[in-house]
Structure 1
């Protein structure tokens, strides 16, 4: 069931609902952004019905239980919530002022969910495609730019055909002008998804490049043009995007590529270490220590 179908289905069932179910339906239709992050118990208390009534409501519209309904609602709102709405949700979550525990626990849950749902065959297929590519383009804009730069930085140390596409003197499409059939384009995007990233992946697909999407859900608009999709959970915890699980997945991708080229990059890094040492790229850990 798609997100749009969910709303339509609730509307279609309105005449059939009991009085209590109708209260739940009306609240969800008017406040789906808040209902999506309420437990069945909390939703029931909000509109003065029992938790079991909320669960039966979920069953009545085609879900096995309330968690499935909640997940569908969350997928719907992730693309629509404004920063102000996210901030309001964060205040609701952190009623006991235990913000550190709440945020870190959310990040841990995102990593676990990412690991549980990772398709290792797709992951390995992505690694293979990077070695077969003529050129590798990486695009991630707005909050995802940090992820794109991180991936680009390390892949550039391992491979010699990597380019990070970003805002600058040249337009996004000018930087992708020569993309073609033997190239790979990696698009990184999480709610709220950058329209420019979506358009860039669509353009790359039209040029017959292999498109890889690193995003949070199969419902993400980045998947529309993708040949391969790597999913990393980024459930909303506050007005700040949670990029912990995406970064962990990207880290795994870099390590996988690096280990496959271990013999080559060992020589390369040995050469780099000599250059870094010669030109003082990194601070000596004993620098500034007082003589004894």
Structure 2
């Protein structure tokens, strides 16, 4: 990782004498603030250093990149696992419009979903749905902010299937909960930068025991992908100290719906039963019941 950063620095240093005045300003900013530049659009970077957006694009071309997005992607791959919470707060201050954080964040989340839709491999998605349906047992694992995604996926899959288990941090260690995992089982791991080492270890553990492994993460370069049979990519660029989980949640929602479509008869009976239970026990409010 650090070596890659040094390579990029060497390229900038080598090219620096031939850069225009405006491009030199960009180069100096990136060398000093590469962690912030990695999450800026070309327009935002230009505005920050006082040059035009076209100058930023020409700068990327001069370094040998096909365009600014390619340079930005390399910067993001370089630093996204290294950012501390303090650095992410600093990035928030740089990238978020303090007058309208609502608009800034929603626009960023819309872009994350758009990019996810472009990147997702439909064949891989379909294969994962098939693996979910034929698995003996399904384990879903992910920690820290990804735990919310794990719980959501587990809740809805449990309404459709009867072989789903959510791996949690509790009295039992992760490996104890995966003790009987093996051939015919499916383990779904969910993690985004900064990647949870426990999730990575859990996927390696499952793979070593011949279970099928699905990774839901942000890149094929993610450490989760190294232990996965199938990797589903969801964009999760950080626009603040809060993880953006909108695109991953949308992807998981699509998986649940796709499984549900294949199991529509089962779902119909399940929800008929649930509606009766909900009404009997007043789960969703309505008229009060006297339990005396």
1:68 aligns with one of 62, 67, 70: 70
Contact 1:213 1:226 in 2 (8 A): yes
Distance in 2 between the 1:227 and 1:247 partners?
Answer: 21
Residue aligning to 1:246? 248
Once the two structures are superposed, residues 118-177 of structure 1 have per-residue CA deviations (whole angstroms, 9 ceiling, x without a partner) of 111111100000111111000010000010001001111111110000101100111011
In structure 1, which of residues 170, 173, 176 is the aligned counterpart of residue 175 of structure 2? Answer: 173
Q: Which has the larger displacement, 76-85 or 122-131? A: 76-85
The TM-score normalised by the length of structure 2 is 0.89
Shift of 1:234: 1.1
**Bigger shift: 21-30 or 129-138?**
21-30
Q: Which structure 2 residue ranges, 5 or more long, are not aligned?
A: none
Aligned-partner Cα distance in 2 for 1:272–1:135: 23
1:37: Cα distance to partner? Answer: 2.6
Cα distance between partner residues in 1 of 2:234 and 2:36: 23
Instruction: Name the structure 2 match of 1:147.
Output: 149
Deviation at 1:250, TM superposition (A): 0.6
Partner of 1:207: 209
Gaps of 5+ in 1: none
For 2:267 and 2:121, locate their aligned partners in 1 and report how far apart those are by CA, in whole Å.
Answer: 27
Q: CA RMSD in A?
A: 2.3
Aligned positions of 1:229-240 closer than 5 A: 229-240=231-242
**Structure 2 CA distance for aligned equivalents of residues 11 and 84 of structure 1:** 27
Partners of 1:45 and 1:271 in 2: CA distance:
58
Range moving further from structure 2, 260-269 or 20-29:
20-29
Q: Cα–Cα, structure 1 residues 51 and 264, in superposed 2: closer, same or farther, change >3 Å?
A: closer
Query: Residue 266 of structure 1: which of 265, 268, 278 is its match?
Result: 268
Match of 1:89 in 2: 91
Within 5 A, what are the aligned runs for 1:109-128? 109-128=111-130
